[in-house]
Structure 1
Amino acid sequence: MKRRHFHRAFSAAATTLLLSFAAPVLAQSPVKLQFWDMIWGPTEYIDTAKSLVAQFNKANPAIQVEYRSVPWTNWYQTYLTAINAGSAPDLSTGAGYQAVQFYDLDAIRPLDDLIAEMGKEGDIKDFREGTVERLKYKGHYIALPWGLDVRIWYYRKDLLEQAKLPLPKTWPELRAAAKAVTGGGRFGLVLPGDTMGMHMVIGAALNHGGALFTSDGKPDLMNAKNLEAWQTLAGMASDGSVSPASAGASMDEARRSFMQGKSAFIYHGPGLDLQAGEAGTKIGILPPLASPRGEKATLAWVNNIMVYKQTKNPDAVKTFVKWWSKNQKPLFTQGQARQVPARISIAEDPTVKNRASSFAEATNTYWPIARGTGSPVPGIFPSLNEVEGDGFLQVLAQRIGQKRPLPAAIDEADKQFREVLAK
């Protein structure tokens, strides 16, 4: 009997001892997160992002993040397929309106708690004014800003010097300068019939005090200031200042024309001068153009990071998002991300700000006058994806470049715009 009691006691003690060793092992199993990141720069960007994730994983052994680089080709279908299959990532970066579109599909987790925490910590003040609010929809913060994509005007110093022209400061002066440099196989600009052309069409409207929408979100394509802006672009085409190959040209071809000195002006994002190689010294930044009434504005987007409802570890995701947001400076230096950081502390760092003159100008001069495609409507809303993706504004840019009758081109664009919003 004593022996049996001894064995029972020993067995119970052994079991307790084994469980005491097993429990900590189970508790220390790391939380695994899937982070999908779009390609925001050259190869160096992907390498730098991977390195940052590795740093986080080393410093936070209880949370292990797996990094996936997602190409822009078919990006929407990539995410939609994952959402529908129940295999969405825990978090991702994405297109400017991706979060709001997927939020309406009940796939995005609001970040109200994260924004509240960062507000209490004082960290939210480090973001550019208006950027956090821009990502608010239906009363909820649906994403956190990280990069600002701003459109700025570049010019070829050599072409203006050869023509003995001062820097244009207004749209009428831009038209005159474009006409003066045109000749001998060179043109004032290329107005491509793709995304870049659409950006020029929207940017010109904003710069003239116009907008695509009314303040309550109704279509307003036909307002007088929009028509004035597009008439100016049409006038440049009529002057012969717009390359006749524009309608069929791509963004890459427009860039190449500018880099080779075959066109004098281009409306592009930050970092173009950084990509120009030897031609970089011949590229300058125009001051923001003024409309005939003195209005100044440009087109911009707030790129962001979002969290998906399918995540099973929202607290771990918040930990990573806060860390990533504070420690992403290498993305702009080593990774050559071609945007302006949303965080003031990173944007004002000399190693970030002085990468090229375009970044400093985008930060100091252009961002303060930047407006979104949905302006003057506050925040973002899902139909902006369709407005930018449908193609009717690209067609308008093509028809302007082809010298088509402007009233008919705008009427057709307005019809399609209303159809897009009615879907």
Structure 2
Amino acid sequence: MRTIIRVLGVAVALAASTSMAAAATVELNFWDQVWGPAPYAQRAQALVEEFNKSQSEIKVTYRSVPWANWYETYVTAIASGSAPDISTGAGFQAVQFYSMDAILPVDDLVAQMESDGTAKDFAPGTLDAMKYDGHYVGLPWAIDLRSLFYRKDVLDAAGQKVPTTWSELRAVAKAVTKDGTYGLVSSGDSTGMHWILAAMVNNGGGLFDADRKPNLTGDKSLEALDFLSGFVSDGSLNPASTGYTNDDARGSFFAGKAAFYLSSPATADQAGTDKDKIGVVPPLTSPSGQKGTISWINNIMIYKQTQHPEETLRFLRWWSDHQKVLWTEGKAGGIPARLSYQADDFFTQNDQLSFVIKTYLPVIKPMSASAGGTFPELNEIDGDGFMMSLMQKIWQGQPVKDAVGPAQEHLSEIMSQ
């Protein structure tokens, strides 16, 4: 009888101990956008598991979030009280959600990184891009930008050289278009819309003027839209582009059915055995004499709904210090915000990526160019879809003057809310 009681007592004590240990484990939810091909989410999931195994106080659950309806996904989660503890997201997601009182500033973490010298490892301007209303609303992790790729074999077959200006690009695109091969392939989804942003900032225009007023109808912006429309009138654009998804457009480019394709820096690495047939067009000189392309500073943010801010900050610091594998193994699409990661052999020995870092990074411009800075409306503009509609109309051959009016009006509505 004593033996039975003693055994039961030990069992109860062990159960209580296990229960206390379980209660002591903080559980966090991490939502992460799809930043690359299939290996990305797989490697990100594995990296979360590595963090979980590295300590016993915190357990992070990983969720891969697709870009389709991403804006609605987060807004709904915040409104329903089911936001994650931490997430990556669109370039201006943190600042808009901060304005909605949904984001927890990471000032203390940035101060810690400044104190131990880590802050110097962030590329110039990336930390500043996270600052709004006197607070750091997120931590930068990647620089997303759009660079122009070309098929060496398509240009060689037509006896064409790599263009350096807008006029040369249009001429080369027209010269290679024949027998089912086009000068340009794009898509009718959000990635196709990046042609508008890239061309406008390349020409010194953009969504806004210096006073932050909508400027789609400004001279330099209209000149950029007319430039894009020219590919349609020349017959150089694959006419299926409007109905294409980005996967369709990329597949056409990889198959050698188009000479030029605008995409993220790691595009060539997804081309398999055709990688060496793909080159990067140097930043083009626009009619205004400027060079430039669109960029976003992708960030990680912490939500105010978290019940464990200290533990979430701890995970965020660990993630920032260990995320190089998201590129080297996960094939993430952007360029790391950390300079030490950019210096890795994975980038320096990759012809396409190293060329993008050397030539495109110095001329990148944000969606807020020419206005400068960051503001909440940018996130709604990024996820609203009206710019995508404008791109579709242009790719369908509608006159620019007819297509741009509704877009300018909608942009004004967003900015006046």
TM over 0.5: same fold? Answer: yes
The amino acid that maps onto 1:173 is E
- Structure 2 distance, partners of 1:226, 1:65, is 45
Corresponding residue for residue 291 of structure 1: 286
Is residue 2:330 matched to residue 1:321? no
Task: Please list the CA deviations of residues 151-193 of structure 1 after superposition, one character each: whole Å capped at 9, or x if unmatched.
Answer: 0000110111111111100111101111111122221112433
Q: Which deviates more from structure 2 when the two are superposed, residues 164-173 or residues 185-194? A: 185-194
How big is the alpha-carbon RMSD for the aligned residues of Structure 1 and Structure 2? 2.4
Q: 2:366 aligns with which of 359, 368, 372?
A: 372
Residue matched to 2:302: 307
What are the residue-to-residue correspondences of 1:117-136 with 2, within 5 Å? 117-136=112-131
Shift of the alpha carbon at 1:228?
Answer: 1.6
Segment drifting more, 184-193 vs 256-265: 184-193
- Per the alignment, residue 5 of structure 1 pairs with none
Which string of whole-angstrom CA distances, capped at 9 and with x for unpartnered residues, describes residues 338-357 of structure 1? Answer: 22111010111112444x43
Residue 395 of structure 2 corresponds to residue 401 of structure 1: yes
Residues 155 and 286 of structure 1 are in contact (CA less than 8 Å); yes or no, is this contact kept in structure 2?
Answer: yes
Please state whether the residue corresponding to 1:146 is helix, strand or coil.
strand
Give the deviation of 1:96 after TM superposition.
Answer: 1.8
| Separation in 2, partners of 1:384, 1:229 | 20
**Is the Cα contact below 8 Å between 1:179 and 1:188 reproduced in 2?**
yes
- Quick check: 1:135–1:379 contact (8 Å CA) kept in 2? no
* Structure 1: 5+ residue stretches without partners: 1-17
Where does residue 171 of structure 1 map in the other structure? 166
TM-superposed deviation, 1:26: 6.8
Deviation readout 1:5-46 (Å, 9 max, x if unpaired): xxxxxxxxxxxxx9xx98xx6799233322222222233223
Deviation at 1:324, TM superposition (A): 0.9
Classify the secondary structure of the residue corresponding to 1:358.
Answer: helix
Offset at 1:50? 2.7
Q: Which has the larger radius of gyration?
A: 1
**Deviation larger for 139-148 or 224-233:** 224-233
Q: Per the alignment, in what secondary structure is the counterpart of residue 288 of structure 1?
A: coil
What's 1:9 paired with? none
Paired residue type of 2:376 = P
Checking the alignment, whether the CA contact within 8 Å between 1:191 and 1:398 is kept in structure 2 is no
Local SS of the residue matching 1:274 = helix
Q: Would you identify which runs of 4 or more consecutive aligned residues in structure 1 move more than 4 Å?
A: 25-28
Matched-pair contact (CA < 8 Å) for 1:32–1:66: yes
Report how far residue 401 of structure 1 moved.
2.4
Mapped partners of 1:98, 1:277: distance in 2:
33
Stretches of structure 2 that go unaligned for 5 or more consecutive residues are: 1-12
Overall identity of the aligned pairs, in %: 48
Q: Give 1:272's aligned residue.
A: 267
Q: Is the 8 A contact 1:390 1:420 kept in 2?
A: no
Work out the number of aligned pairs and report it.
403
SS in 1 for 2:127: helix
Q: Which of 343, 352, 356 is equivalent to 1:362?
A: 356
TM-score normalised according to structure 1 size:
0.89
Contact 1:191–1:397 (CA<8 Å) still a contact in 2? Answer: no
1:402–1:83 distance in 2 versus 1, CA, 3 Å = closer
Aligned partner of 1:241 among 217, 236, 243: 236
Confirm whether residue 67 of structure 1 aligns to residue 68 of structure 2. no
Give 1:278 deviation, angstroms.
2.6
